[in-house]
Amino acid sequence: MNKPLQVVCILASLCAMPLWAQDPAYPVWRCGHEFTNQPRPGQNCQVVELPAEITMTAPRRRPNLDKTELPQPPIVVMPRIDLNDQRQRDGWAKSILNDELIKTQTRCQQLTANSTELVRCRADEAALRRELARAP
């Protein structure tokens, strides 16, 4: 074969390549409101004509997430607290709450009746009583 004929054949094949790309290898089906490449048997599906400028890409692969591959959170070792120390801390917390309750009660007594500050003060007092009831 002579050289000019080879060049013409190569150019002709390169010009024909976009025509092959426009013909979808996998037709797209419309089944109701769903678009798919593989319709299920028995579904009322129609082939969708795609414009030439649409490019179909391969589906993304999801990473295989086995529980063994997941990073485990670090184990935090909490120091053990002696029972007597914890009782002492609980006692301090109760005494602080009692002091706050007494301060709130005296503040509530000094406020005028039917004021918004008195309503807020009574709400604070009720919250402190709830915290004291919850304390061990």
Greater pLDDT, 128 or 44? 128
pLDDT cut 70: percent of the chain above it: 75
C-alpha to C-alpha distance for 90 and 96, rounded to whole angstroms: 10
Instruction: Give tens-digit pLDDT for 43-93.
Output: 889 888 877 676 767 778 777 665 556 677 888 888 888 999 999 999 999
With 0-12 / 13-18 / 19 or more C-beta atoms within 10 angstroms meaning exposed / middle / buried, residue 100 is: middle
Which of 21, 93, 102 lies closest to 55, judged by CA?
21
3-state secondary structure 18-70: HHHHHCCCCCEEEECCEEECCCCCCCCCEEECCCCCCCCCCCCCCCCCCCCCC
pTM: 0.42
Q: What is the pLDDT of residue 93?
A: 93
| pLDDT confidence bin for 129, thresholds 50/70/90 | very high
Q: Does pLDDT of 41 surpass 80?
A: yes
Instruction: Give tens-digit pLDDT for 19-34.
Output: 555 455 678 888 888 8
Find the mean pLDDT for residues 13-19. 60
Q: What is the pLDDT of residue 1?
A: 52
